[in-house]
Structure 1
Amino acid sequence: MIRFMDTQALAAFLEVADAASFTRAAERLHLSQPAISKRLKSLEDEIGQRLFDRVGRSVLLTDAGHSLLPYARRALQTVEDGRRALSQLSAKVSGRLSIGTSHHIGLHRLPPMLKRFVLEFPDVDLDLHFMDSEDACEAVLAGKLELGIVTLPLQPLPNLESRIVWPDPLAVIVAPSHPLAQRKRVKLEDLAKHPAVLPDEDTYTHRIIRAELEARGVEPRVRLATNYLETLKMLAAIGLGWSVLPESMIDDSVVRVPVSGFAPHRDLGWVRHTGRAVSGPARALMGLLSP
């Protein structure tokens, strides 16, 4: 009979299951691999079942592991909801706040807000994770993060509340030496004749750009793709191709190209799970982020 399950052991179980790797799970939890293994051994002893099969370098859930998975997620989410609800009973804003954000937002948008937040709420333990916006949204839905500060999804996701904080217009940019750099106006068809360096196709930003192009019957010649906008800016600046970046990133290293009928736009903001209690720290940060 299962008498008690350590939430730390359940957290280790979920991380290994999601990552399919003891190494990656240890990194995410900031633990050593032996510590992860010890927690899992304790959980397996408690339930009397093996949870993972180790086949070479692969880590696979057993039937018992598959059966436990949804209950483990629900248990940890319930515990976290309880902590958040209790944090609201006190006028003092304290406790842990787990946030996921993209590198771009973390570098270019969040610093002033976070500086103000840590000064106003010094008793909050801020747990900040840098990741792709898509992964942050998934982590919020899975209960691993309370807030995501991200490029917002193109379409609403079930159980995910979102709020726009920063409208983020995008622009086509090229190197100063690019053949299109000195043109006052460029047709989209002419732009498509040149190679492009764009965000990875799995990102919201790529989907926004692709939707704008496809609506006009244009297929870009993508030479390179990466998730990091700073890297795209560098690649465009050295002449590898045109790219699309937030207007806020444009400086003397690149040239903005006015393209007729092409004005992509994305929104940046926060997301949270609609079915979970909002902690005091999350409410405070959401208040600071309100436009």
Structure 2
Amino acid sequence: MDTQALAAFIEVADSASFTRAAERLHLSQPAISKRLKALEEQIGHRLFDRVGRSVLLTDAGAALLPYARRALQTVEDGRRALSQLSGQVSGRLSIGTSHHIGLHRLPPVLKRYVHQFPDVDLDLHFMDSEDACEAVLAGRLEMGIVTLPLQPLIHLDSGVVWPDPLAVVTAPTHPLAGQRRVRLEDLARHPAVLPDEDTYTHRIIRAELQARGVAPRVRLATNYLETLKMLAAIGLGWSVLPESMIDDSLCRLNVQGFKPHRDLGWVRHTGRAVSGPARVLLELLSETH
């Protein structure tokens, strides 16, 4: 079977949309439809039903999907293994990373990388850390550079690159700003703006608070730390942000017994071959400690 057709089939199945699949594969929607039509003719079964605006797998599509995933993963593993045979580091490296890491941590590493290995085609995707881990598990990405989960995920190897201590912050005009010490009970009486509850960072913060019997009053949640910084700075609520983001627009609170911490680092699938481009990136990341 044509691996490009299988890739189109998997993307449409995962996104339930021809349009989103075309965007992810950097193709036109007619090109996606053409590849799927060729695949359907080859196997003799219709793979999708269109119901209104929804795209649903047929029984044949659902049966084919796990085999298509394994076939593409096997081909990708072969490509990665072959890339190790040559002394020259080249080929494609697909990475998922969060906006925060991509803006604040990765640029110096990637600058060195593209200078030292110009023959590597970096395929960089910005997404939530949780989605990047899922994409690595599914074989859509080779690596994630992410906020590491509280508990290790099955089939994911990981390594800490940047310890990332967090701090409670408010606007300088907040009622708690300027106090020498703040109790958690006092903090809980004021509204908070925090990372979305589905994020690893939110889970880290909430676990720390729950261990001390405190439940935050969340006024607003978003995945973007830069947005949270702005919301806290204008006085919408207190927040928890990386210490590295604190500047004159924020006031750091000294909260008794509350020192949340997260780790930023890499993840990769334990059952997949490591390509040459991924190997040298892991070496560069290990040097950034």
TM-score range, shorter chain: over 0.9
Which 5+ residue runs of structure 1 have no aligned equivalent? Answer: none
CA distance in 2, matches of 1:50, 1:195: 52
1:71 CA drift (Å):
0.3
1:52 CA drift (Å):
0.4
1:196-211 equivalences under 5 Å are 196-211=192-207
Aligned partner of 2:87 in structure 1 is: 91
1:170 to 166, 170, 175: 166
Aligned partner of 1:221 in structure 2 is: 217
Aligned partner of 2:99 in structure 1 is: 103
1:165 CA drift (Å):
0.3
2:231 to 228, 235, 258: 235
2:138 to 136, 139, 142: 142
Aligned partner of 1:7 in structure 2 is: 3
AA aligned to 2:229 is K
CA distance in 2, matches of 1:234, 1:41: 48
1:32 CA drift (Å):
1.1
Structure 2 counterpart SS, 1:184: coil
Aligned partner of 2:36 in structure 1 is: 40
Aligned partner of 1:16 in structure 2 is: 12
Aligned partner of 2:152 in structure 1 is: 156
CA distance in 2, matches of 1:210, 1:255: 21
Aligned partner of 2:275 in structure 1 is: 279
Which 5+ residue runs of structure 2 have no aligned equivalent? Answer: none
**TM-score normalised by L of structure 2:** 0.99
Is 1:74–2:67 an aligned residue pair?
no
Aligned partner of 1:29 in structure 2 is: 25
1:30 CA drift (Å):
1.0
Structure 1 counterpart SS, 2:271: coil
Structure 1 counterpart SS, 2:89: coil
CA distance in 2, matches of 1:214, 1:14: 40
Structure 2 counterpart SS, 1:241: coil
Aligned partner of 1:265 in structure 2 is: 261
CA distance in 2, matches of 1:228, 1:11: 30
CA distance in 2, matches of 1:180, 1:26: 50
AA aligned to 1:133 is S
AA aligned to 1:102 is S
Structure 2 counterpart SS, 1:260: coil
Aligned partner of 2:60 in structure 1 is: 64
1:23 CA drift (Å):
1.1
1:119-134 equivalences under 5 Å are 119-134=115-130
CA distance in 2, matches of 1:154, 1:268: 11
Deviation per residue, 1:4-42 (Å, 9 max, x gap): x11111001001100011111111111111111111111
Deviation per residue, 1:193-216 (Å, 9 max, x gap): 000000000000000000001001
AA aligned to 2:251 is V
Structure 1 runs (4+) deviating above 2 angstroms are: none
CA distance in 2, matches of 1:104, 1:156: 21
CA distance in 2, matches of 1:227, 1:10: 32
CA distance in 1, matches of 2:19, 2:104: 31
Structure 1 counterpart SS, 2:181: coil
Aligned residues: 287
Is 1:52–2:52 an aligned residue pair?
no
